[in-house]
Amino acid sequence: MPRLLCLLPLLLLQGAAAPNEIARIEAAVAEIRGLPFKRPVAVKVVTSAAARSHFAERAEKLWPKERVALDQAVYANLGLLPAGFDLLSSFLDLLEEQALGYYDPGSDTLYLVDSAAGAETASMLIAHELTHALDDQHFDLEALLASRMADDDKTAAMSAVMEGSGTAVMTVFLAREIGAGRITISALQAVQKTEAARAQRLKATPPVIQRSLLASYILGLSFLTRGNPARLVAGLDAADLSRAFTDPPQSSEQILHPEKYWDEAARDLPRRVTLPDLSKRLGTGWSLASRGTLGELGLASLTGAPPLELASPEALQPARWTSGAAAGLGGDLYHHYVHGARSVTVLATVWDTERDAVEFQDGIVTLPRKRSFRFGDAVVVLGGVDLGPEGEVLAGEVLSTLSATATAPRP
């Protein structure tokens, strides 16, 4: 599911702006970000229907329907989505409702939705999107995402850097706009009320969807400020932002725990987990349909991370996005197998310590305890069709395979 992060626009963009206003915002963004624009950014106004069509086309390119169906089945098998949940339609409905503007790296264009309102606050939100354009001109956002598409958790980490950059620049820009009297507190309060009303559909979605949609914006800001957004009071550390693009974080664990990226002594890279193809082991007719990673952010949903209160300042705290049971992850990998209408998802995890593995197994809330198996610092979870006693035998064989990985030195 982290592939959907590649499709995300800014979900709050409101209002259009005159060309001279765009130029003013461009100059401010370049100064805050510490990088020059190499070329002007095109700005176009589109209808909400055209915006939805754009999102659907981008989804077909980066997240084709066949893969959506497989991701949907994996998350349903693991108890993260209700059976029959239409993942793509739900996602596109949310974007159509929430997104009032977006930057498209493929065309180097910032699009504004014509139904947007609230021009007084438009400048801060345009600043966010122009930051994407600026980062794209220097670091090629499409290429960065494409290089990580084979690893869902790396995709999530890269998306957090991109959206965190936009949010950090927007935050500094907003403070300056308020100081200059161009944006008033009353206007911000009006936006907050409007957004609270528009967020009802988002709140009604399964928690894993909410987290996938919003983590990159909120956690990205925390990550780029080394866990302390208050650092922005002194201004943006442009060197940190550029470092995060040229040497990106490798996991959502590093996003949730910034010290595991920024502190060289504590830097924690994900451990590579490998699994053999179990198709023949499962029997005639079974085939390996997909594979991927969940990372700490995904495993947090599996272990019942606390509900998000987006209106609360606590939402800015990474601890609210994970759980004790998901912390201490070494690495993970899932294989998804199909046999006609039947499917099995094998999730293999390795942990920093045996105690972390015990806490993870004890913390799983989306599946019955009998569907998880542990040996040392490795835990295997089986989702989907119940294999009965054969499932325990299969899990034991997988754990035996993992034992060498689980004790191997970290890269």
Query: Tens digits of per-residue pLDDT, 154-177?
Result: 999 999 999 999 999 999 999 999
- Listed range (11-25, 44-58, 133-147, 334-348) with the worst mean pLDDT: 11-25
List the structure tokens of 38: 């190499």
Whole-structure pTM value: 0.90
At 300, the pLDDT band (50, 70, 90 cuts) reads: very high
pLDDT band at 18 (very low <50, low <70, confident <90, very high): low
Q: Please give the pLDDT value at position 1.
A: 55
Rounded-to-integer distance, Cα 298 and Cα 326, Å: 9
Question: Looking at residues 174-195, what average pLDDT do you find?
Answer: 82
pLDDT-above-90 percentage for the chain: 60
Q: What does the block give as tokens for 248? A: 């990106």
**Is the pLDDT assigned to residue 210 strictly greater than 80?**
yes
Confidence of residue 12 (pLDDT cuts 50, 70, 90): very low
Task: Find the range with the poorest average confidence among 69-83, 154-168, 281-295, 396-410.
Answer: 396-410
Of 157, 397, 178, which is closest to residue 295 (Cα–Cα)? 157
Task: Find the range with the poorest average confidence among 93-97, 192-196, 216-220.
Answer: 192-196
Q: What is the pLDDT of residue 312?
A: 74
**pLDDT at res. 410:** 36
Predicted confidence at residue 198, as pLDDT, reads 61
Position 26 pLDDT exceeds 90: yes
Region 135-159: mean pLDDT is: 93
Q: Which of 236, 25, 257 is nearest to 123 (CA)?
A: 25
For the ranges 11-15, 199-203, 336-340, the maximum mean pLDDT occurs at 336-340
User: Could you tell me if 347 and 332 are in contact, meaning their C-beta atoms sit under 8 angstroms apart?
Assistant: yes
How confident is residue 409, by pLDDT bands cut at 50, 70 and 90? very low
**Half-sphere exposure (CA, 13 Å, Cβ side) for 129?**
30
For residue 308, is pLDDT > 90? no
* C-alpha pair distances (Å), 130 with each of 37, 58, 60, 156, 352: 10, 20, 25, 21, 40
For residue 119, what pLDDT is reported? Answer: 53
DSSP 181-213: TSS-HHHHHHHHHHHHHHTHHHHTS-HHHHHHH
> From CA 255, how far away is CA 230, in angstroms rounded?
17
**With contact defined as beta carbons under 8 Å apart, do 165 and 135 qualify?**
yes
- Of 196, 180, 179, the C-alpha closest to 312 is 196
Average pLDDT over residues 41-48: 84
**Residue 88, pLDDT score:** 84
How far apart CA 231 and CA 252 sit, in angstroms, is: 22
> What sign does the CA torsion over 350, 352, 354, 355 have?
negative
Question: b/e for 44-53, b at 16 or more Cβ within 10 A?
Answer: eebebeebbe
pLDDT at 339: 97
Rounded to whole angstroms, the Cα distance separating 107 from 119 reads 25
Residue pair 352/330 in contact (Cβ under 8 Å)? The answer is yes
At 260 the pLDDT is 97
Mean pLDDT calculated for residue range 229-246: 94
- Kindly compute the dihedral angle of the four CA atoms of residues 24, 29, 32, 38, in this order, to the nearest 10 degrees: -110
Q: How far apart are CA 336 and CA 320, in angstroms?
A: 29
pLDDT at 316: 80
Q: What are phi and psi of 379, to 5 degrees?
A: -130, 135
Widest CA span in the chain: 70
What is the rounded average pLDDT for all residues in the chain?
A: 87
Reading phi first (left if > 0) and then psi (alpha if -120 to 50, else beta), residue 44 is in: beta
For 362, half-sphere exposure in the C-beta direction (CA atoms, 13 angstrom radius) is 9
What is the DSSP code (8-state) at residue 308?
P
For 342-384, the pLDDT digits (tens) are 999 999 999 999 999 999 999 999 999 999 999 999 999 999 9
Predicted confidence (pLDDT) at residue 411 exceeds the cutoff of 70: no
First vs last Cα of the chain: how many Å apart? Answer: 26
